[in-house]
Structure formats: structure tokens, C-alpha cells
Amino acid sequence: MKIFITGGAGYIGTHTCVELLDNGYEIVVYDNFSNSSVEALRRVETITHKSFTYISGDIRDETLLSNSMVGCDAVIHFAGLKAVGESVAKPLEYYDNNVNGTLCLLRAMQKNTIKTIVFSSSATVYGDPEFLPLTEDHPLRTTNPYGQTKLVVEEILRDLYASDPQWKIMILRYFNPVGAHESGLIGEDPQGIPNNLMPFIAQVAIGRRDYLNVFGDDYSTHDGTGVRDYIHVVDLAHGHLKALQALSVPQCTAINLGTGTGYSVLEVVKAFEVASGNNIAYQISPRREGDIAACYAHPQKAKELLHWSAMKSLETMCRDTWNFQTKNPKGYG
């Protein structure tokens, strides 16, 4: 089976490429390298001892896109912009890339009669939770343009399926992906100052940043700091394999990919100190605008429909993040 992977050079994409190649799939990666590098794909080849086709192109270039997917059987769609703050400042760029880009992709798929797609959505579509853990039928609403693009694409996919029930569509709602491949060859390589907790902590541990700002210690959580469902990126990548396997029959299904366990910011700091053997300096700062107190998944639907559960612990997530950070102190360079 040949899988067309948009955004396959990115953080989650590269780990999924490894998973697919290790399991005998053929892949074609299509990426404009706006937030990634060819080096990451070379490293996928090193890890798997396999080579594959990669094409430098934008998903909004419908002709190149359509020609590039000839002969593929299914699509995994990672390509998109993902920084919440930036999406507030540049909403048009986000709608164009994430929504218009996906429309181009779906048209190109129709042209090639490829009707199987796995889409990267996010737990951000649940907004501020009304109840926890989050089940897939929790009301959907978002608080920023990035989240809105995910929700709009989900709706487009549901409408597409309603119009043509031959489609096989899996919408995966990721919680907080962290960690890296155990080889330390691929991992998260954020440009500039990291927005997310785990890469920021890793940079403090290695001395690139002086201290972590803990955004708020007065939330209604057990220690007052924000609680999230961190999931190892290799577990997440494995979830994509299971999603493809579950798409043997037509459907349009949304599924949470999380562990079901929430950890606070201070718990992550402590776990990282143990994994790295380094002290993580931090100071308590005001809450970050738009943040919620707690967010974690009900992972049962994934277990039932995908026969998948996250396996890796917070300790492993920290260990593998640290391994990637120490082996690549300046990312892919």
C-alpha cells in the first residue's frame, strides 16, 4: 500500500514515516519545508534503512499536488500551520494554508479517485472543557483561528462523507505530542522561542534558556498549574498506522489520541529533572491568555475502534526529548 503524506517532513510526520516504512508501507512525502528540513527525511531513511520519494511542494499548488499523488492509495494529511499565537496575528494565512490547502488536497484526491484520508485534528476543537475526561461527543468550539481551521476542516470532511459515503475518513484529535524517536535522530525542532512546554523545558535543561515561565499557579488543579495529556510522538505515530488499518470500510470517524492521564506543569518539570539529571529553574508568571486549566482525553474509543492505546510513560517522553536535545543541541542545524 502506498501512502501520500502531506507535511511528512514535520515533527509528527517524520515519526509516522518511520512507523509506516517499518511496517512495509510505501510512502511519498509532500512538504513545502516551511517548518521543516530535508535533513529530517534523510534521517528517516537512516533509521529505517529505506529510501522513499519526497517532493518539495505546497498543498495549495493543486496541479503539482495532483500529479504527485498518482498511484497512491491513501493520504495522511499533516501539512498545516500550528502556532496559536501566530494564527491570531495572521488569520488569513492560517485559513489559506489550513483550510484552502485542504480543499486543494481533497479536490486532487477526487481527481485521482483516492478516497481514504487520515486528518490531523487537535484537542483544541473542544475549547474549554465542560467535562473531563474529554469524549469525542463533547461539544466542539474553539477560541482562536488555528483551532477554527481544524474545526472547519473537520466539518468539510463530514460534509464530504455525507455527499459521498464511499469515503474513508479518520479524524484524529491529538492531545499534547511530546518526545522523540529513541534513536535521537528525529524529534521536535521548533524555530525561535518554543511556545510549548516540553521543548522549552528541554532548552532550559541544556542551558539555552535561563528559566521556564510557569504560566499560572492558581488554576483549580491539584497543584495550581495547568494539566495536560502528554502523549509520546511514537505512540501517536503508531496510532496513524492503526487508523489506516481501521479504514478498510467507509466511514467518517473522529477519535481522540491521548493517554487519558493529565500531568501538571510542575510534574513535567520534576520528571524532566530526573530524566536529564539537571535542575530546571522556573518562576511563576501570570496565566497565558487563552489557556485552560486542564485537558485530557477519554481514550476508550481509540481502544475499541483502532485497537490502540498509548504505551509510553511520562518518564520515557522526558528521556527521549532529552536524548534528542543533547544529540541535536541546535535542532537539525
**What binding mask, one character per residue, do residues 150-179 give for ligand UD1 by CB under 6 A, x or -?**
--------------------------x---
In angstroms, give the least distance from the CB of 93 to ligand NAD: 10
Q: Between 33 and 215, name the residue whose CB sits nearer to ligand UD1.
A: 215
Ranges of H-type helices in the chain: 11-22, 38-48, 62-68, 84-89, 91-94, 101-111, 145-163, 197-205, 233-246, 265-276, 300-306, 314-327
Q: Between 222 and 288, name the residue whose CB sits nearer to ligand UD1.
A: 288
Residue 11 near which of ligand UD1, ligand NAD, none (CB within 5-8 Å, type-dependent): ligand NAD
Angle at 87 between CA 255 and CA 151, to 5 degrees: 30
Say how far apart CA 172 and CA 160 lie, in whole Å: 17
In angstroms, give the least distance from the CB of 24 to ligand UD1: 30
Q: Between 84 and 160, name the residue whose CB sits nearer to ligand UD1.
A: 84
By CB under 6 A, tell whether 122 contacts ligand UD1: yes
* Local structure of residue 213 (DSSP, 8 states): E
CA dihedral (11, 16, 19, 25) in degrees, to 10, reads -140
Q: Between 16 and 122, name the residue whose CB sits nearer to ligand UD1.
A: 122
Please report, as ranges, the residues that interact with ligand NAD according to CB under 6 A.
6-7, 9-13, 31-36, 58-60, 78-82, 97, 101, 120, 122, 174, 177
By CB under 6 A, tell whether 84 contacts ligand UD1: yes
Q: Between 13 and 57, name the residue whose CB sits nearer to ligand UD1.
A: 13
Active-site residue, 146 included: yes
And the C-alpha cell for 247?
Answer: 479504514
Determine if residue 309 is left, alpha or beta; phi over 0 gives left, psi from -120 to 50 gives alpha, anything else beta.
Answer: beta
For ligand UD1, the binding residue among 70, 290, 313, 329 (CB under 6 A) is 290
Angle at 156 between CA 67 and CA 165, to 5 degrees: 80
- Among 30, 94, 146, 296, the one annotated catalytic: 146
Bridge partners of 215?
285
Residue 226 near which of ligand UD1, ligand NAD, none (CB within 5-8 Å, type-dependent): ligand UD1
And the C-alpha cell for 284?
Answer: 511563576
- How remote is the C-alpha of 33 from its chain's centroid? 16
Burial 201-229 (b: 16+ CB within 10 A, else e): bbbbbeeebeebebbbbebebeebbbbbb
> Which residue of this chain has its Cβ atom nearest to ligand NAD in the complex?
10
Is residue 265 within 8 A of residue 226, CB to CB? The reply is yes
For ligand UD1, the binding residue among 62, 73, 182, 291 (CB under 6 A) is 291
By CB under 6 A, tell whether 242 contacts ligand UD1: no
Q: Between 241 and 265, name the residue whose CB sits nearer to ligand UD1.
A: 265
Interacting positions 192-231 with ligand UD1 (CB under 6 A): 195-197, 200, 212-215, 226, 228
Q: Which residue has the cell 500529479?
A: 67
Which residues are known catalytic residues? Answer: 146
Q: Which residues bind ligand UD1 (CB under 6 A)?
A: 84, 122, 124, 176, 195-197, 200, 212-215, 226, 228, 265, 288, 290-291
